[in-house]
Amino acid sequence: MNFKKEFPLWIIILLPFIYLAYIWNGLPETVPTHWNASGEIDGYSSKSMLILIPILLPLLVYVILTLAPKIDPKKKIDNKGKKYSNIKLLLTLFMSALSLFILYSSKSQTVTNPNIIFLLIGLLFTILGNFMKTFKPNYFIGIRTPWTLENETVWKKTHELGGKIWFVGGLLIVCLSLILSKQTNATVFILTTTIMALVPIIYSYLEFKKLK
């Protein structure tokens, strides 16, 4: 393990743990832990449950992405490459930022604007879409359908199309998050992400059948 490369990631992972420790004594015993699309609280839990947020988000994602190249049966994930390192940094940073946002919202007992989360997810989709065409067949990252995993040509074509869809879809989510109301944006977000997920899956099946 490259200490210099991993150390910044460890700092990013630690940030929500440090923030939680900082606000711990000021938290009530019961805190909000779930909100609906309008930003209204619809679920409470013991404050001890908050420790799961940084564990299940940045820490778990980091562990999975660190182990993935070693346990990938196809051995196609190059953990020494810059692209994979960038993806690992991006996803860890996103999960850490999301953890901080959730912890802050639990402390303040409100979500000022749920569109912030949609905007961040849109940015993530845009960046991942830009990387997607470079993904090689593997069982952990990318559009993993039975048809893409079966045929490298289907994998390549699906990720070329999927990358474009995710890039455009992510930009659309970002733009709409800046102008739409909370309720409308939540509906549009669900519709957009559904299209982004289904189109590459259907395309991979059709391409596989065409090749066969």
Structural domain range at position 156 = 114-212
**Domain check: are 118 and 104 in the same one?**
no
Same domain, 28 and 38: yes
| pTM recorded for the entire structure | 0.87
Higher pLDDT, 79 or 42: 42
Query: Angle, nearest 10°, between helix axes 152-179 and 182-211?
Result: 170
- Over pLDDT 70: what percentage of the chain? 96
Statement to judge: residues 122 and 154 lie in one domain? yes
- The predicted-structure confidence for 86-100, as pLDDT tens digits, reads as follows 999 999 999 999 999
Which residue reads 């639990």 in tokens?
Answer: 106
- pLDDT tens digits, one per residue of 142-157: 999 999 999 999 999 9
Instruction: Examine the fold and report which residue of 77, 112, 147 is the final residue of a domain before the chain moves on.
Output: 112
Q: Are residues 141 and 72 in the same domain?
A: no
Does 14 have pLDDT greater than 80? yes
Task: Judge if 204 and 107 occupy the same domain.
Answer: no
158 and 60 co-located in one domain: no
**In a shared domain, residues 108 and 16:** yes
Compute the distance between CA of residue 90 and CA of residue 68 in angstroms, rounded to an integer: 16
**pLDDT > 70? residue 74:** yes
Question: Computed over its alpha carbons, how large is the radius of gyration of the chain?
Answer: 19
Q: Which pLDDT score is estimated for 96?
A: 97
Q: Residue 38's pLDDT is what?
A: 64
Same domain, 10 and 95: yes
pLDDT band (50, 70, 90) for residue 112? low
User: Quick check: 39 and 182 in contact, CB under 8 A?
Assistant: yes
Burial class (CB in 10 A: 0-12, 13-18, 19+), 128: buried
Averaged pLDDT score across all residues of the chain: 91
What integer is the mean pLDDT of 174-179?
96
What is the tally of structural domains in the chain? 2
